[in-house]
Amino acid sequence: MERPGRLLLQSELRVRNAAYDVSLSRSLLIWKRRTSSPVYHPFRPSVCHSVPVSEIISVREEEEENGSRQRDDGSWKKIREREGKDCRQAFTVLYVERCRQHRWRCAEVTFTCSDEAVCQHWVSSIREQLASNTSRPKHLLVYINPYGGKRQGKRIYEQKVAPLFTQAGISTSVIVTEYANHARDHLKMEAELKKFDGVVCVGGDGMFSEIIHGLIWRTQIDCGVDPNSTEEALSPCSLRIGIIPAGSTDCICFASVGTNDPVTSALHIIVGDSQPLDVCSVHHNNMFLRYSVSLLGYGFYGDVLSDSERKRWMGPARYDFSGLKMFLTHHYYEGTVSYLPAKGIIGTPRDATRCRSGCVICQHNGQLNSERSEKYEMDEASDSESSGEWRTIRGKFLAINAASMSCACPRSPKGLSPAAHLADGTTDLILVRKCSRFNFLRHLLRHTSKDDQFDLTFIEVHRVRRFRFMPRHCQSDSDLELDLHENSKRQIFSQICKDHPACGCAPAYSSWNCDGEILTHTAIDVRVHGQLIKLFARGIEELPVFEDLSNPCAI
């Protein structure tokens, strides 16, 4: 438990007609019940509570609320007479309460003071401490996707999130998007970003992708950085991004908070949490294509996405159908992967360390990468192929995946790369070589088990800072723009065989799945930009070994 430090205020107050010693420091609000007997009772419920000041949502006086409740109701009058308190002598503190599965809830406690002056002193002192926290947002720009997921985005925001923002004194400017990339285009050109302390998106991973594309692009233009250059280091975004999950997968929320609960995400925004996040820039022939924060997948995951896009009428079931279909077709693709290994860092893709709140690996490697980026800006040749650091692998691959985070979700609790980190300046490059269907199934099933999913002879994984891919049959960059949809329309199930001769039974190219969007080029150059953006999050918190879930704030 955090030490309370120097006390700012201490009084005897009442909670539910019981006497409590209440103290306030710069870090903690503590209320401890006074006991009439000095005898220790080991089975008596805990009567001491502690809340970090940083996790207090707001404080309010009860004058207006209780005054409005006065009615000609005999029972209410009896209660007021029994309690014998003036309505101006009570105040309520709203604070964060931890629940199961990393969820947060808004709890409250009402204190009754001996007189009005004491009450006002407590309220002003707590508000002063909240106001001194400069990390808390006061003005937010909110984008709502009304069509994402189950089309519940607007309802979720209005019923669950907006009331919390109002209680915390946060003003919002709300935009309901009307078409694809509406939020991206508005951030690029029209939004007056200087008026806001953060940007919030209500939707799924697709909506979040729109936000980062608009915000990162706008930041680079404002800073004079060319987004099309593969060698320039991108400028980090100053505004934090909040995600209110209302999509199908909500992968980013699972990786940064541990749950896809809208109330939990809203509370992380209110208390002003900050979690840096790596972003991969994807280029083709010195032309910018997209940014990626979670998964870049070629082969199996690219084929699944391409096939499922033509079956949107099936709803979420299309992913299961397309996944089964692509597993049975068992396509492999030939190509060359070149990568720049991440040297001098701590942590590997196969260790047992998981990225959690206050991650030491992210802090260490993030600092290391920022020092290296300054060096590379002065000596660009050190990051070129002539430096000798690049490594090359040629072969036949069922899948090529780059995971910048664990990519965990309800269907895959561990994710594609369980030990991937949010902000260490690297991505985990996973190469699945050509193998039998049975072995590939073993690999897929390990995403849902506790087994080491990389402990297979046909799989290799590397932690890299940059990588490139070139399909085997590409003769020039102009050949790389493929009509993938027309190709796949000609075949429902390609022939199932060990090898695909030049008979055209299997496509020569797959497509890249970039955070759920299809790239139009297959030859790409990917570079990791460490801690380019920040989220209103703190990473997944480690649960205490002895956790009192019935009273999460009890100490």
Question: Which pLDDT score is estimated for 5?
Answer: 67
**Residue 374: beta bridge partners?**
none
Catalytic residue at 383?
Answer: no
Which contacts of 62-71 are long-range, i.e. CB under 8 A and separated by 24 or more positions? 62/87, 62/88, 62/90, 62/91, 62/92, 62/110, 63/87, 63/88, 66/90
The two beta strands, 275-284 and 295-299, are unpaired
Contact 171, 112 (CB under 8 A): no
- Helix, strand or coil for residue 85? coil
Question: Which pLDDT score is estimated for 536?
Answer: 98
**CA torsion, ordered 295, 299, 303, 306, to nearest 10 deg:** 60
Question: Which pLDDT score is estimated for 216?
Answer: 97
The two beta strands, 333-341 and 459-471, are antiparallel
End-to-end CA gap in the chain: 9
Characterize 337-374 residue by residue with b for buried, 16 or more Cβ atoms within 10 angstroms of its Cβ, and e for exposed: bbbbbbeebebebeeeebbbeebebbeebbebbeebbe
| Cα 490 versus chain centre, distance | 38
Which residues neighbour 27 within 8 Å (Cβ) at sequence distance 6 or greater? 2, 3, 4, 5, 52, 53, 54
| Cα 119 versus chain centre, distance | 39
User: Domains plus CATH for the chain?
Assistant: 1-35+46-62+88-133 (2.30.29.30), 136-273 (3.40.50.10330), 278-372+389-477+504-531 (2.60.200.40)
Single-letter code of the amino acid located at 180:
A
**Residue appearing with tokens 């009896």:** 78
Taking the whole predicted model, whether its pTM rises above 0.85 is answered as yes
- Helix, strand or coil for residue 265? helix
Contact 327, 317 (CB under 8 A): no
**Among the listed residues 101, 202, 105, 211, the one whose alpha carbon sits nearest the alpha carbon of residue 150:** 202
CA distances from 462 to 272, 284, 431 (A): 34, 22, 9
CA distances from 550 to 129, 142, 367 (A): 29, 34, 40
Whole-number Å distance between alpha carbons of 156 and 149: 12
Alpha helices in 425-513 (DSSP H): 437-445, 484-489
Q: Which of these is catalytic: 73, 197, 205, 525?
A: 205
Question: Which pLDDT score is estimated for 46?
Answer: 56
Question: Which pLDDT score is estimated for 38?
Answer: 57
Which residues neighbour 39 within 8 Å (Cβ) at sequence distance 6 or greater? none
Whole-number Å distance between alpha carbons of 302 and 544: 39
Q: Per the structure block, which two tokens stand in for 121?
A: 């002193």
- Helix, strand or coil for residue 268? helix
pLDDT means per 10 residues, the chain with 555 residues, are 73 92 95 73 68 96 54 44 56 96 96 92 96 96 89 94 97 96 96 96 94 97 94 95 89 92 97 97 96 97 93 83 94 96 92 92 88 61 58 97 91 87 96 97 87 91 97 58 45 44 63 94 96 97 57 40
DSSP structure string for 139-187: EEEEEE-TTSTTT-HHHHIIIIIHHHHHHTT-EEEEEE--STTHHHHII
CA distances from 208 to 145, 315, 414, 497, 548 (A): 10, 20, 22, 40, 35
Residue 74 burial class via C-beta count within 10 angstroms: exposed 0-12, middle 13-18, buried 19 and up: exposed
Which residues neighbour 248 within 8 Å (Cβ) at sequence distance 6 or greater? 148, 149, 204, 316
- What's the DSSP call for residue 120? H
